[in-house]
């Protein structure tokens, strides 16, 4: 056995996925880098003897199975899965069409589910593996203009937490990554879909918010390359964290949410604690 691991990274043709694939290669691992356009993936990463660029559409189970089969055929195993592919449908809830809301969930939730479902049999056979899923600080705290995106990330959090004890007996671990704001391509036109103002009550706020979000693109504080290198470091540890707050702003979001939950639990403690059946109280 060596320290070299086989990584499968989704959404590796640009942005954070490219940085993660490159960092894994630089650390001496082999990478199956996937994306809708494998030529774009290969161009982004360049030639490398331990790189396999494969077409993968996370919303198409047949495409997912073909990519996993190609990975196993080339390298024999998959040690680290990185569910990174995703997009962002922005907008106030009433202005996000049902079709766009479903599309957001399809990519950001069912996409990782599709890929993980295909990879788990490989990892179970190995009795080892790590499933890394990119969530967001939007997976622990909501915010206006992001309801569809937040819904997809909250769902990922609950799924991953529930998956963890199911696969632990097979030597498979999970890790949720919650980045704050990083200078990725998430807010570019390739990844973000903004609504056209359709309800007068929201119209001005929509225009202002879209302008603000577009202005934020390219100005985010986080460095994706540093995140990628840190992620490789964590995956190489004996005890990768179940959750990783990526960025100082992510730590602040964690702390704020924890304080909010504690305050909410305490706010109506007596009322909340008085809801048992009387016979249960008498027998206590």
> In this structure, which long-range contacts are made by residues 38-41, counting pairs with CB atoms below 8 Å and at least 24 apart in sequence?
40/13, 40/14, 41/12, 41/13
In order of 20, 161, 210, the CA distances from 106 in angstroms are 23, 19, 23
Beta bridge partners of 193: 89
Q: Are 27 and 43 in contact (CB under 8 A)?
A: no
Tokens describing residue 203:
């119209």
Q: Quick check: helix, strand or coil at residue 124?
A: helix
Give Cβ neighbours of residue 253 (< 8 Å, ≥ 6 apart).
137, 140, 141, 178, 180, 245
Q: Which residue has the tokens 């693109």?
A: 217
Tokens matching residue 242: 């179940």
Secondary element (H or E) of residue 24: helix 15-26
Q: Which residue numbers are catalytic?
A: 135, 149, 153
Distances (CA, A) of 74 to 6, 118, 177: 10, 16, 28
Q: Which two tokens stand for residue 178?
A: 């919650």
CA angle 10, 14, 17 (to 5 degrees): 40
């Amino acid at each position: 056995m060596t320290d070299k691991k086989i990584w499968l990274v989704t959404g590796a043709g640009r942005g954070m996925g490219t940085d993660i694939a490159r960092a894994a290669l630089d650390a001496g691992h082999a990478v199956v880098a996937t994306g809708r356009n494998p030529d774009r993936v290969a161009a982004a990463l360049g030639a490398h003897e331990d790189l396999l660029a494969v077409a993968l559409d996370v919303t198409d189970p047949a495409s997912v199975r073909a990519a996993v089969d190609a990975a196993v055929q080339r390298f024999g195993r998959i040690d680290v899965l990185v569910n990174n592919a995703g997009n962002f449908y922005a907008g106030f809830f009433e202005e996000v069409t049902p079709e766009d809301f479903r599309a957001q969930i399809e990519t950001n939730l069912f996409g990782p589910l599709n890929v993980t479902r295909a990879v788990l049999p490989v990892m179970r056979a190995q009795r080892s593996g790590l499933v890394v899923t990119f969530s967001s600080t939007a997976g622990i705290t909501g915010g206006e203009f992001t309801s569809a995106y937040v819904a997809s990330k909250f769902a990922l959090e609950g799924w991953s937490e529930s998956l963890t004890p199911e696969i632990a007996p097979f030597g498979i671990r999970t890790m949720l990554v919650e980045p704050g704001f990083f200078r990725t391509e998430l807010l570019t036109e390739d990844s973000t879909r903004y609504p056209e103002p359709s309800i007068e009550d929201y119209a001005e706020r929509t225009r202002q918010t879209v302008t603000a979000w577009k202005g934020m693109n390219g100005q985010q504080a986080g460095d994706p390359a540093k995140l990628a290198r840190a992620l490789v470091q964590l995956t190489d540890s004996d005890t990768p964290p179940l959750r990783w707050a990526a960025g100082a702003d992510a730590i602040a979001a964690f702390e704020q949410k924890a304080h909010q939950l504690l305050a909410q639990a305490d706010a109506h403690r007596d009322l909340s604690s008085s809801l048992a059946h009387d016979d249960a109280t008498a027998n206590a």
